[in-house]
């Protein structure tokens, strides 16, 4: 397993303007690199110290050196390092491809989500790995049964990113399958029509921020709530986007959603492939995405099981009972089909 190391680099020639452009306003560029690649960066003058897993630390040292070269003055002015440049530099390290699926044992003590209402700590190794993947990948999938914390932890990560000013807005979306995405017959304005479908997301927001704060942020469009159909044609920059109940997207809707993501944006897609409400015969966009995207760098998948349920213990037992029943039913069906075909051949 890769060990934690300390690495020091000195950026030369010394130029305060170039260094300020490298670090970004309020050190935003450094914070992005830290969060995405799981390292800690500190500096005094032009000496930078990087702490993290050895492969990530070495890559970040090179990344900072390369970006500092990019700041070289043009006509007397230091060149700005944009969000896009940081994003592309991170991708070029290929560290995201090597992101571990499991969390180091000592990382379990480290990963927490801080919001103004307190610290949220994942409760089991799978939740730890999920939060780690959300923090270090552009697109993260949380797939599994209800009650495993997929949506709650995604909302917590979004709020932390907003409070740390890493993003400018949170966008919550969900396919309104039961209403056929045609919400006209429901009373009220757009957000009121979609409200019933987004209640779990609201509940998490209210718990972490408080009702009044959430209402103010919605009024200012810092938190935006929209049905999936309204995402078409948009490009979302500087945003944290959560697609909940994604098992009810079609293949086309999922592709449309994933291609809306802009620079400095993060998307979390949650869903339960055992609870698909789509018309019979229509393939779930979530199932299809799992097949198509599993090997793509910067995209992570976490799969939750009944043992990860953090609700009442009886919920996990109920889920297990349903799974066992479905397996038994499928076996009986397969056996009946086999017997029927055998009888046909005898005749």
216 plus 125 within the same structural domain: yes
137 plus 172 within the same structural domain: yes
How many separate domains does the chain show? 3
> pLDDT value at position 107?
41
246 plus 299 within the same structural domain: yes
Host domain of residue 319: 312-347
CA dihedral 147, 152, 153, 159 (to 10 degrees): 180
177 plus 307 within the same structural domain: yes
Q: What is the pLDDT of residues 112-144, one digit of tens each?
A: 777 666 777 787 788 888 998 998 899 999 998
Q: Mean pLDDT across the stretch 288-309?
A: 85
209 plus 187 within the same structural domain: yes
Q: Locate the DSSP E strands across 45-96.
A: 47-53
User: Which one of 68, 98, 128 terminates a domain?
Assistant: 98
Handedness of CA 45, 47, 50, 51 (dihedral sign): negative
* pTM (predicted TM-score): 0.61
94 plus 118 within the same structural domain: no
- Give bridge partners of residue 132 from the DSSP assignment: none
75 plus 195 within the same structural domain: no
- Give bridge partners of residue 243 from the DSSP assignment: 173, 269
116 plus 262 within the same structural domain: yes
Beta strands across the sheet bearing 299-304: 223-227, 169-174, 239-243, 266-271, 139-144, 299-304
246 plus 202 within the same structural domain: yes
User: Which one of 34, 65, 98 terminates a domain?
Assistant: 98
User: Which one of 98, 117, 138 terminates a domain?
Assistant: 98
Asked if residue 234 has pLDDT above 60, the reply is: yes
């Amino acid at each position: 397993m890769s060990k934690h190391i300390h690495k020091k680099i000195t950026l030369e020639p010394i130029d305060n303007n170039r260094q300020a452009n490298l670090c970004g306003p309020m050190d935003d560029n450094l914070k992005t690199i830290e969060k995405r690649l799981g390292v800690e960066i500190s500096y005094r003058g032009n000496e930078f110290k990087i702490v993290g897993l050895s492969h990530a630390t070495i890559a970040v040292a090179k990344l900072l050196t390369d970006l500092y070269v990019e700041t070289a003055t043009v006509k007397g002015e230091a060149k700005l390092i944009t969000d896009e440049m940081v994003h592309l530099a991170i991708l070029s390290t290929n560290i995201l491809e090597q992101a571990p699926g499991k969390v180091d044992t000592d990382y379990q003590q480290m990963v927490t989500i801080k919001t103004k209402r307190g610290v949220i700590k994942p409760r089991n190794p799978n939740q730890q790995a999920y939060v780690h993947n959300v923090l270090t990948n552009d697109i993260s999938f949380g797939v599994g049964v209800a009650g495993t914390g997929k949506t709650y932890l995604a909302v917590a990560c979004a709020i932390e990113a907003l409070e740390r000013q890493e993003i400018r807005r949170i966008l919550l979306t969900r396919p309104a399958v039961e209403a056929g995405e045609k919400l006209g017959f429901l009373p009220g304005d757009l957000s009121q029509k979609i409200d019933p479908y987004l209640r779990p997301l609201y509940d998490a927001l209210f718990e972490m921020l408080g009702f009044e704060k959430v209402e103010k942020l919605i009024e200012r469009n810092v938190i935006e709530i929209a049905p999936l159909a309204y995402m078409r044609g948009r490009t979302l920059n500087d945003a944290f986007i959560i697609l909940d109940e994604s098992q009810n997207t079609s293949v086309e809707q999922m592709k449309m959603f994933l291609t809306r993501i802009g620079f400095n944006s993060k998307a979390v897609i949650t869903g339960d492939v055992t609870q698909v409400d789509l018309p019979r015969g229509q393939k779930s966009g979530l199932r299809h995405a799992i097949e198509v995207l599993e090997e793509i760098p910067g995209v992570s998948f976490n799969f939750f099981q009944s043992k990860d349920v953090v609700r009442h213990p009886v919920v996990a037992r109920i889920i297990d009972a349903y799974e066992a029943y479905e397996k038994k039913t499928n076996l009986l069906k397969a056996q009946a089909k086999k017997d029927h075909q055998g009888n046909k051949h005898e005749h």
